[in-house]
A = this chain, B = another copy of it.
Amino acid sequence: MIRVLVADDQALVRGAVVTLLGLEPDLDVVAEAGRGDEVLDLVRAHDVDVALLDVEMPGMDGIEVCRSLIASGMGVRSLIVTTFGRPGFVRRALEAGAAGFVVKDTPASELADAVRRVHAGERVIDGALAAESLIEGANPLTVREQDVLRAALGGAPIAVVAKAVHLSEGTVRNYLSSAMAKTATSTRAEAAVHARDRGWL
């Protein structure tokens, strides 16, 4: 029996996935979480083999959770499941020690199989996404550029961004300018969505 944990903030999706996996004879869903920061304790308490982690979660994002699970030294293997197929996510997930990465577009029938393969020690990566993240290359943005872009995501004026990241307006403009060059865009707002869509933030 493979002991599985399912973490997803959308109760409906979580519940549905749980029943789906519960139907498999060799899988046993022993825990559920609606927030990222609940996962570690649940894994500890229930001796989980495979953790199914959504990327978008309140409390702690799925990739961070994965990292903390690795750090904990327990034998859990993480399978990241996400809505948005952003190439940058794959890279970050693998660096965090994830054993698998699938998008929610994949047929339901393949999910149980992915869990089994991950449990068996294989790496399961969505093919299309793997290819994309290869040709994409690594995240070209520096840490500060990412900070500034994150603050600029809502479209706020530069003065507000500068306050949010505790930098001078001029410095913010320079970071934005270089980010715009790297993303081949011409406004900060454009650069921000471009970076987000690639999973660089």
Q: Is A193 an interface residue (CB 8 A)?
A: yes
Given contacts A186-B157, A189-B189, A190-B154, A15 and B107 within 8 Å (CB-CB): yes
What is the CB-to-nearest-CB distance from A162 to chain B, in angstroms, rounded to a whole number? 14
The verdict on A12 contacting B106 (CB below 8 Å), with A20-B19, A155-B155 known, is yes
User: In the complex, what residue of chain B is closest to A156 when comparing beta carbons?
Assistant: B190
* A9 contact set on B, CB distance < 8 A: 105
Give CA–CA (A11, B102) in the complex, Å.
12
Separation of A154 and B183 alpha carbons in the complex (Å): 13
Interface size class of A (residues with CB under 8 A): 35 or more
Given contacts A155-B155, A185-B155, contact A104 B190 (CB under 8 A): no
Q: Bound complex: CA of A191 vs CA of B83, how far in Å?
A: 26
4 closest pairs, A vs B, by CB? Answer: A15-B108, A155-B189, A16-B16, A155-B190
Binding site for B on A (CB under 8 A): 9-20, 23, 81, 83, 102, 104-109, 111, 154-157, 185-193
Q: What are some 8 contacts across the A-B interface (CB < 8 A)?
A: A10-B83, A12-B81, A12-B104, A12-B106, A15-B20, A15-B109, A155-B189, A156-B190
